[in-house]
Amino acid sequence: MNEEVLQGERVRLRRVRPDDRERLTALFNDPEVLRWWGDAEESLDDTFSPSPEEVGYVIESEGEFAGFIQYGEETEPMYRHASIDIALAEGARGRGIGAEAIRTLARYLFAVRGHHRLTIDPAADNAKAIRSYERIGFRPVGIMRRYERGLDGTWHDGLLMDLLAAELR
């Protein structure tokens, strides 16, 4: 297994390991994460059996579990880019840890993986996440209408945001 570690100033991103299952189960079942990520079992399955284009990391801060972040790559040369998803544990929220985790992963995706553009797609009504992503340099591209189905069975809009390498703050 690849033990690749990405180091930021206050965060460490390390590849997901089998012994992370309990912490990730709790994370994906947290009501705030469920609200935005949906089905906890599906998220857990995707985390431990990702598609070949996806890579997941546990976020650690001060030696403690702080959440999960992943990227997916579009490798078609005409459309090459990467996308990011993140879920933070309750104690890590509102402390800038998520923003630093995204910056750390973005630097890796630009410098090492050779991407020129990244995307992130929060729920259109997740104002807190959108503000955080904008501070990092992501810009709104547009609303994706009825983009994802919520746990309540209704469709919700998503906001497509992107970030070019020179725009990372």
What is the rounded average pLDDT for all residues in the chain? 95
pLDDT, position 125:
94
Q: What confidence score (pLDDT) does residue 81 get?
A: 97
State the pLDDT at residue 3.
63
Contact (Cβ atoms closer than 8 angstroms) between residue 67 and residue 88: yes
Query: Which whole number is the average pLDDT over 136-157?
Result: 95
| Tokens describing residue 141 | 């591209």
Could you report the per-residue pLDDT of 83-122, keeping only the tens digit for each? 999 999 999 999 999 999 999 999 999 999 999 999 999 9
> What pLDDT score does 1 carry?
40
Alpha-carbon distances of 5 from 55, 101, 135, 144, rounded to whole Å: 12, 12, 25, 33
**Residue 37, C-beta contacts closer than 8 angstroms, at least 6 positions apart:** 28, 43, 87
CATH topology of domain 5-167: Aminopeptidase (3.40.630)
Average pLDDT over residues 138-160: 95
| pLDDT(6) > 50 | yes
**Residue 15 Cα distances to 20, 62, 139, angstroms:** 10, 17, 28
Note the pTM of the prediction, 2 decimals: 0.93
